[in-house]
Amino acid sequence: MTRKFAPIVLLFAVVLSLAARAQTGTAAAAPAAAAPAAAPPAATSPITGVNKVGIINIQGAILASNEGRRDLETLDKKFDPKRTELQNLNKEIEDLKKQLSTQGDKMNEEARGSLVRNLETKQKAMQRASEDAQNDYQQQQSEIAQRILQKMAPVIDKFAKDNQYSLLMDVSQPWPQGQVLWFGANTDVTKAVVDLYNAQSGVAAPASAANSSSRTTSGTTTPKSATTTHKPATTTTPSTPPKPQ
């Protein structure tokens, strides 16, 4: 499962909306001491004078931040016992399947029926446990992402204003799921935002980051952690151990 944060995108819009309202309210409450200076001209891109547009991978920024890496690694460790439990249950299922395959035709009807019922019971138990673990993991994962995004949204807002962007578009979902068909690498501000957020948060990079050279915050490449490191797998076939990797 590619990590999906659909509610996160909505939350991001809400956070920025509230920030904009707060700024508007503050401006309205301030006395009009003097006529405001003329607004600077809209920033333009090097091509055809259009307004300055950038892209950002919100999902990638959350995952690539020091805080995101630290908290998601902690979550992974928290689910280690559940992963072990599911692996052990899977082994029991495989042993029963092997027994049924090698000895089933030699058993009497009652013994074979008992073995089949035991196998089915364990398969259902594994399916339920796997789904519960998946849902629990995703819920806690989403809570981590939302918490980080609430703190990251003002950083993005300030970055966009300081650099005179007219528009930033989220490319967490690739086209056609997302809205952006193509963009140049020089329009991606994800790494710049992550660097700013890391500096502001004061959270040090986790030790594992030194060995994670394959990670990237590019809008065209999802960070490795988004697809593998923090993905709890589910399965309906007991031959593959479901686990939060």
Which pLDDT value is given to residue 152?
Answer: 97
Average per-residue pLDDT for the chain? 75
Task: Place 209 in a pLDDT band, splitting at 50, 70 and 90.
Answer: low
CA end-to-end span of the chain: 12
Mean pLDDT of 107-117: 93
The domain segmentation of the chain, as residue ranges, is: 6-19+50-206+215-229
Which pLDDT value is given to residue 172?
Answer: 92
Alpha helices in the chain (DSSP H): 6-29, 58-64, 66-78, 80-103, 109-162, 190-201, 224
pLDDT at 47 over 80: no
pTM to 2 decimal places: 0.63
Which pLDDT value is given to residue 5?
Answer: 52
